């Protein structure tokens, strides 16, 4: 391994010294929504408690209703109906972004998403545009307990007419939102709740060690690696919400275990477009996600990768997910169930030992 680590290396995720501080994801996403509402008079935003002064449970919509009062609407506690109304707006020629306060509650809108919005794009025999984004603040590590911490991505995998996306600190949120609304089909956008509080990465810089670039367009992949390196011991594939944990694991693996990893983060989780990154997958492949074990997104990724990588693989693709368990509230219990940087590090180390 040719990488040299200097003394006093900053923690993973800290921008390289000297770089201007980038915005936090919550502000970045909020700004993207402001821009979108400003530039497109057809865009509506619906959700529970999203209007000012509250501005949404995670403040992602703050300031929007003050500027666009008739297009940013707080709804009653009716997830099925706020998604359905978004689909209705879309059908009538508008564009709708709807917020599920905690993604756990998107189960209440499953019918509207699966049986109406997604199906309507094709079941009437001709393409029917349904420009709708269902925003889902997702994931645990905030102590909200079993019904406010889940990562439900896997439950939406494989629905015809529905695509799944996730925010990452690499992808530009505004470009992603604009792109999703241009698809004419409903999209579920998962947004890690801890990521909201973290700074985004810009200009290809992750930290002192890692750099990134983007391939495959606004919903394509972020490729994170060490400059100059092309052969990695391990390729991690993970949604955006896992970025910080994956980076921390990669740093530890490199410094302490002498294992060089790269990270690939797709903005679109499903359907998965592997073409832009197939050539970048080297070494052991490990797919990491926050959902619970069983019927996972990772299994879907792995089955898509196997036939393409078969001759290159030296061992089975590794799958890392949360435990097959509810997500407990107490911090020590929660961390035992969820994927942490150690979970990732251990999985890679064990596979490669």
Which residues form the interface with other proteins (CB under 8 A)? Answer: 44, 70, 73, 75-76, 78, 80-94, 96, 111-112, 115-116, 120, 122-128, 160-161
Taking the complex as a whole, the smallest distance from the CB of residue 327 to other proteins amounts, in Å, to 26
The least distance separating other proteins from the CB of residue 9, rounded to whole angstroms, comes to: 49
Nearer to other proteins, 76 or 307 (CB): 76
- Number of residues that make up the chain: 353
Take residue 318 and report the two structure tokens written for it. 């590794």
Q: How far is the CB of 48 from other proteins (least distance, A)?
A: 12
Least CB distance to other proteins at residue 70 (A): 7
Pick between residue 187 and residue 338 the one whose CB is nearest to other proteins: 187
Q: Which is nearer to other proteins, 102 or 212 (CB)?
A: 102
Q: For residues 211 and 252, is the Cβ–Cβ distance under 8 A? A: no
Q: Closest CB to other proteins among 93 and 228? A: 93
3-state secondary structure 277-307: HHHHCCCEEEEEEEEECCCCHHHHHHHHHHH
Is the distance from CB of 240 to CB of 171 less than 8 angstroms?
A: yes
Pick from 293, 298, 241: which is nearest to 265 by CA?
241
The nearest distance, CB 290 to other proteins, in angstroms, is 29
Residue closer to other proteins, measured from CB, 73 or 304 = 73
Three-state SS at 217: coil
**Nearer to other proteins among residue 53 and residue 76 (C-beta):** 76
Q: What angle do CA 28, 192, 301 make, to 5 degrees?
A: 115
**How far are the Cα atoms of 82, 86, 110 from residue 75, in angstroms, in the given order?**
7, 11, 18
Q: What per-residue string of b and e applies to 204-242 under the rule 16 or more CB within 10 Å gives b? A: eebbbbbbbebebebbbbbbbbbeeeeebbbbbbbbbbb
Q: Is 172 helix (H, G, I), strand (E, B) or coil?
A: coil
Q: CB-wise, 122 or 197, nearer to other proteins?
A: 122
CB of 181 to other proteins, least distance (A): 15
CB of 304 to other proteins, least distance (A): 18
Q: How far apart are CA 269 and CA 265, in angstroms?
A: 9
């Amino acid at each position: 391994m040719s990488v040299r680590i200097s003394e006093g290396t900053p923690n993973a995720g800290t921008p390289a010294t000297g770089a201007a501080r980038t915005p936090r994801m919550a502000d970045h996403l909020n700004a993207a929504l402001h821009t979108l509402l400003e530039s497109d008079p057809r865009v509506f935003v619906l959700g529970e408690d999203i209007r000012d002064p509250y501005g949404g449970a995670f403040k992602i919509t703050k300031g929007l209703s003050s500027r666009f009062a008739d297009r940013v609407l707080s709804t009653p506690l009716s997830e099925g109906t706020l998604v359905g109304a978004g689909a209705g707006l879309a059908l009538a020629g508008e564009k709708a972004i709807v917020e599920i306060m905690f993604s756990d509650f998107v189960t209440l809108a499953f019918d509207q998403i699966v049986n109406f919005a997604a199906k309507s794009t094709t079941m009437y025999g001709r393409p029917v545009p349904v420009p709708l984004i269902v925003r889902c603040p997702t994931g645990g590590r905030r102590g909200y307990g079993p019904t406010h911490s889940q990562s439900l991505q896997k439950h939406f995998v494989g629905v015809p007419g529905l695509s799944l996306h996730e925010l990452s600190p690499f992808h530009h949120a505004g470009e992603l939102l604009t792109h999703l609304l241009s698809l004419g089909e409903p999209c579920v956008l998962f947004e890690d709740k801890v990521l909201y509080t973290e700074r985004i990465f810009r200009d290809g810089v992750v930290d002192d060690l890692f750099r990134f670039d983007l391939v495959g367009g606004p919903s394509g992949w972020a490729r994170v690696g060490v400059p100059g390196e092309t052969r990695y011991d391990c390729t991690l594939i993970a949604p955006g919400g896992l970025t910080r944990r994956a980076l921390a694991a990669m740093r530890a693996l490199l410094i302490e275990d002498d294992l060089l990893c790269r990270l690939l983060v797709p903005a679109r989780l499903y359907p998965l477009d592997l073409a832009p990154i197939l050539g970048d997958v080297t070494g052991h492949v490990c797919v990491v996600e926050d959902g619970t074990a069983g019927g996972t997104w990772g299994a879907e990724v792995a089955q898509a990768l196997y036939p393409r990588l078969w001759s290159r693989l030296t061992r089975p693709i590794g799958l890392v997910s949360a435990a097959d368990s509810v997500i407990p509230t107490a911090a020590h219990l929660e961390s035992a169930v969820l994927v942490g940087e150690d979970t990732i590090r251990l999985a890679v180390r064990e596979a490669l030992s």
